[in-house]
Amino acid sequence: MFYAAQIILALEYLHSKGIIYRDLKPENIVICQDGYVKLTDFGLCKKGDFTNISGASSICGTPAYMAPEILLYKQYGKAVDWWAFGCFLYEMVAGHPPFFASNKQDLEFSILHSQPNMSHFSIKLQDLIYRLLEKNPKNRLTTNIRDHQWFNIDFDAILNKKEIAPFLPTLQNEADVTYFDPQFIKSSMSEQCSIIDELDSYKDFTYKGSQDQSVQQSFQTLSPEIIGLNENGEAKQMIKVESTEMINQ
């Protein structure tokens, strides 16, 4: 409940700025040293004039968390984020996503036609998740989610970090990667970098430092670094390159 409340606050804020997130999943949520969470990876965000059911049409996201309307190539809006929140909430309790299969076709069929098993959930939590995982976005729970009877928490206290976090990570220093999956910290840099072949790949990017073309052409490898919002609430991605310069998207 502590973590779910924070995700609600984050999504509400993004939506208030005209932004849909489109990639909510556990991998994009990190726990900070104070025990509170942050939403990361704003690469699939879209800013625009969205309703709950319209404003976007591109196919994107992580398959297990994609709403039915995306899979059906329909117009969609803010409701897709609340579908993904329902998936996240289910996974936090069950330990696995509500919809999963051995191949993409079966996964999509499951999302479109099946209901997840929640017999071991409390009645209140079942009601909340069923309403979030409503396949028709027009009928999906998208407003006043924090008022649902399952929540027994002070959202203002969460917003102001007055609640005591249930878990505090023990870190030796800022570079401590104890809680990172070994799969990621043991991989080589070459596996995490992309090779850029053409200068045109940097179109619409703003460079920090020299604008000399020879310097720009020396940039060859990229790796994700920091993702956030700028002062206007727009998605901003910062990518670290070999030269240690930063590029803002």
What is the Cα–Cα distance from 234 to 19, expressed in whole angstroms?
8
Distance CA 91, CA 237 (A): 27
In the predicted model, what is the mean pLDDT of residues 5-10?
A: 96
Q: What is the pLDDT of residue 188?
A: 66
How many percent of the chain have pLDDT more than 90? 63
Q: Which residues are part of the catalytic machinery?
A: 23
Asked if residue 20 has pLDDT above 60, the reply is: yes
Q: Measured between alpha carbons, how far is 42 from 228 in angstroms, rounded to an integer?
A: 7
pLDDT tens sequence across 234-244: 444 433 333 33
- Residue ranges of domains in the chain: 2-159, 182-248
pLDDT value for 200: 43
Cα(125)–Cα(141) distance, integer angstroms? 13
pLDDT tens for 67-107 read 999 999 999 999 999 999 999 999 999 999 999 999 999 99
Per-residue pLDDT at 180: 82
pLDDT tens digits along 198-213: 444 444 444 444 444 4
One of 1.10.3720.10, 3.30.200.20, 3.30.70.1140, 1.10.510.10 is the CATH number of 2-159, namely: 1.10.510.10
How many Cα atoms sit within 13 Å of 222 on the Cβ side?
A: 16
Higher pLDDT pick, 240 / 49 = 49
